[in-house]
Amino acid sequence: MNPLRYAERLLSIRPRSEKEIRERMEKKGYSPQETEKTVNHFKNIGLLDDREFAKWWFEERKGERGIFAIKMELKRKGVSDEIIDEVVSGDEREFIKKALEKAERKYKNLPERERKRKIREYLLRRGFSWDVIQEVTEWTP
């Protein structure tokens, strides 16, 4: 498959970071020259932009993951620290509500003490900070 067409197909599924495109093309067997040419093409036409990708990723994940987890995911995807710090911000208390509601539904039939413990563990695994978890689980019914 033509390298431009392959990258276009990847980008049509969802936005991607530059690193993701490079890794996928390398895995598929494209030469470094083909990969570089393809990446530059999509950067020039605005379809490959780590800043826009980071904004999209943050919006998609902020109700499911904490700020720490989102930052780590973006770092693994090759987004620079500068872009991550610019894009990922806000009050984690706002983001935790969706994950908290999901955890409450999941553990609603457990005894109170065990339920609170499970909810806290669930939120910790999703990258929310312990201070925010303690704060929001104080008012958990």
The pLDDT value given to residue 74: 97
Each residue of 85-131: pLDDT tens digit?
999 887 888 888 889 999 999 999 999 889 999 999 999 999 999 99
pLDDT at 70 over 90: yes
Say if residue 56 is in the same domain as residue 28. no
Say if residue 105 is in the same domain as residue 117. yes
Say if residue 55 is in the same domain as residue 83. yes
Say if residue 98 is in the same domain as residue 116. yes
The pLDDT value given to residue 37: 96
Average pLDDT over residues 22-45: 96
Per-chain mean pLDDT for the chain: 92
Domain that holds residue 36: 1-48
Per-residue CA distances from 73 to 69, 78, 126 (Å): 6, 9, 11
**How many structural domains compose the chain?**
3
pLDDT at 9 over 80: yes
Q: CA-CA distance, 79 to 49, in Å (whole number)?
A: 10
